[in-house]
């Protein structure tokens, strides 16, 4: 039996769905792939449960229920405090370990880098480690590869070869990163990537079209687990900007988050509010959106939040499109990603489907883990 020991950071919506799916599919993985995936550490923001033999399934399910009710692992009878993710990798890691990041925090970066230094594998749903400094991206992406020709970093697509996966960082469970990597690996020339990359903003825009109030739809998207922990990351465009940057860096472009041109959907004075205050203040934006959507509808148009990666530049922001266009016909959390390339021309290669949701995302993370068990 092949064994991959799992250290999981983040037991929020995606992390909990992942644990449930891992437990549910244990026999599938054993019978079909001869694979077992013991979870040796489960970590939240300030606590952890560690068991080097693998936390048993009954305890895992109990722990995710405890987390769903707002519990902290530091206070659980099986758990204890932790303030240092790299320390967890140090004590719980061993040959054949995969570190899975389902947080929305930069605090995991040292743990991920340590994991790669030790020869462990990594899977990220978290976009932040990939969108901080270019140097961190290079180290995460180039793991396991030899240095580039002048001793510089190895090519930033080498993660595809075996040590790491971050498929769900763009388009949740949709195969966007795998497609990008395959296009690049084949020598195809990607000239433009465009579309709508946010499940939350798709849900909001199509909800507005149905005549619903902006505030009501955003609160619902938050409750359903589509938004980032702070929904301003979605509404301000920074989450889509991160996705655009991940795609651009995947093409080998050397850009930073500050280089992405971002237009947000709420006024900057709302940045100083707490998350709850922001959610409470949303009705003040209802009328503006209602008017914009009505004006657009009168012209046969709808509002979408679009992204473009082209000519060494990334741009994200609201735009009006024909209600009859591919973007205009999208519904709910669906994303649409077009790859315009030398071989996919004039018609682009298109990926479309659910782009947010904890179950689809967790399933994407689980596929990444299973794939990594057979690489490297």
Ligand X SMILES: N[C@@H](CC=O)C(=O)O
Ligand Y SMILES: NC(=O)C1=CN([C@@H]2O[C@H](COP(=O)(O)OP(=O)(O)OC[C@H]3O[C@@H](n4cnc5c(N)ncnc54)[C@H](O)[C@@H]3O)[C@@H](O)[C@H]2O)C=CC1
- Which region among 2-10, 133-141, 221-229, 255-263 touches ligand X (by CB under 6 A)? 221-229
- Closest distance to ligand X from the beta carbon of 232 (Å): 11
Directed axis angle between helix 238-250 and helix 134-141, to 10°? Answer: 50
Residues that bind ligand Y (CB under 6 A): 9-15, 43-45, 85, 102-105, 107-108, 125-127, 168, 172, 199, 225-226, 228-229, 356-358, 361
| Dihedral angle computed from the Cα positions of residues 237, 241, 242 and 247, in that order, rounded to the nearest 10 degrees | 150
- Of ligand Y, ligand X, none, which one sits near residue 357, judging by CB under 5 to 8 A according to partner kind? ligand Y
Cα–Cα distances (Å) from 175 to 42, 240, 348, 373, 375, in that order, read: 27, 17, 15, 18, 18
Classify 98 as helix, strand or coil.
Answer: strand
Q: Does 199 bind ligand X (CB under 6 A)?
A: yes
| For ligand Y, the closer CB: 303 or 365 | 365
- Of ligand Y, ligand X, none, which one sits near residue 103, judging by CB under 5 to 8 A according to partner kind? ligand Y
Residue in the structure block whose two tokens are 């644990």: 19
- Of ligand Y, ligand X, none, which one sits near residue 200, judging by CB under 5 to 8 A according to partner kind? ligand X
Name which position in 97, 179, 198, 341 contacts ligand X (CB under 6 A).
198
Query: Which contiguous run of DSSP H or E holds residue 41?
Result: strand 39-43
- Closest distance to ligand Y from the beta carbon of 361 (Å): 4
Q: Which residue is nearest to ligand Y (CB)?
A: 12
Classify 307 as helix, strand or coil.
Answer: strand
Q: Are 56 and 62 in contact (CB under 8 A)?
A: no
Enumerate the active-site residues.
243
- Closest distance to ligand Y from the beta carbon of 235 (Å): 14
CA distance 357 to 292: 27
Q: Does 158 bind ligand X (CB under 6 A)?
A: no
Residue in the structure block whose two tokens are 């891992």: 22
Name which position in 227, 301, 308, 341 contacts ligand X (CB under 6 A).
227
- Closest distance to ligand Y from the beta carbon of 82 (Å): 8
Q: Does 330 bind ligand X (CB under 6 A)?
A: no
Main-chain dihedrals φ then ψ at residue 314, nearest 5 degrees: -125, 135
- Closest distance to ligand X from the beta carbon of 201 (Å): 7
Sorted by sequence, the CB contacts under 8 Å of residue 149 that are 6+ apart come out as none
CA distance 336 to 78: 43
Count residues near ligand X (CB under 6 A).
Answer: 11
Contact footprint for ligand X (CB under 6 A):
172, 198-200, 226-228, 234, 239, 355-356
């Amino acid at each position: 039996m092949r064994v991959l020991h799992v250290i999981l950071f983040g037991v929020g919506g995606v992390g909990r769905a992942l644990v449930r799916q891992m437990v549910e599919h244990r026999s599938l993985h054993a019978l079909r792939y001869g694979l077992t995936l013991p979870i040796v550490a489960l970590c939240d923001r300030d606590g952890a449960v560690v068991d080097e033999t693998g936390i048993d399934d009954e305890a895992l399910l109990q722990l995710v229920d405890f987390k769903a009710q707002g519990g902290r692992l530091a206070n659980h009878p099986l758990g204890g405090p932790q303030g240092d993710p790299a320390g967890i990798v140090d004590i719980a890691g061993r040959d054949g370990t995969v570190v899975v990041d389902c947080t929305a925090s930069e605090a995991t970066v040292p743990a991920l880098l340590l994991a790669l230094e030790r020869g462990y594998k990594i899977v990220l749903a978290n976009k932040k480690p990939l969108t901080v400094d270019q140097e961190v991206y290079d180290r995460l992406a180039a793991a396991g590869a030899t240095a580039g020709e002048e001793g510089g970093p190895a090519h930033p697509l080498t993660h595809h070869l075996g040590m790491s996966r971050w498929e769900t960082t763009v388009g949740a469970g949709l195969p966007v990163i795998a497609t990008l990597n395959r296009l690049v690996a084949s020598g195809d020339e990607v000239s433009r990537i465009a579309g709508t990359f946010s499940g939350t903003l798709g849900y909001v825009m199509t909800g507005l079209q149905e005549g619903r109030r902006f505030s009501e739809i955003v609160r619902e998207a938050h409750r359903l687990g589509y938004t980032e922990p702070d929904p301003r990351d979605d509404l301000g465009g920074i989450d889509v900007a991160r996705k655009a940057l991940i795609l651009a860096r995947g093409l080998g472009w050397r850009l930073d988050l500050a280089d992405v041109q971002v237009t947000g959907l709420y006024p900057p004075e709302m940045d100083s509010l707490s998350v709850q205050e922001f959610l409470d203040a949303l009705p003040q934006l209802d009328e503006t959106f209602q008017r914009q959507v009505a004006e657009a509808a009168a012209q046969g148009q709808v509002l979408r939040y679009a992204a473009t990666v082209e000519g060494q530049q990334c741009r994200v922001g609201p735009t009006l499109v024909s209600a009859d266009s591919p973007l205009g016909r999208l519904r709910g959390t669906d994303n649409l990603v077009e790859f315009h390339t030398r071989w996919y021309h004039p018609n682009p290669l298109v990926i479309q489907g659910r782009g947010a949701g904890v179950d689809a995302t967790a399933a994407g993370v689980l596929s990444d883990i299973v794939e990594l068990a057979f690489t490297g």
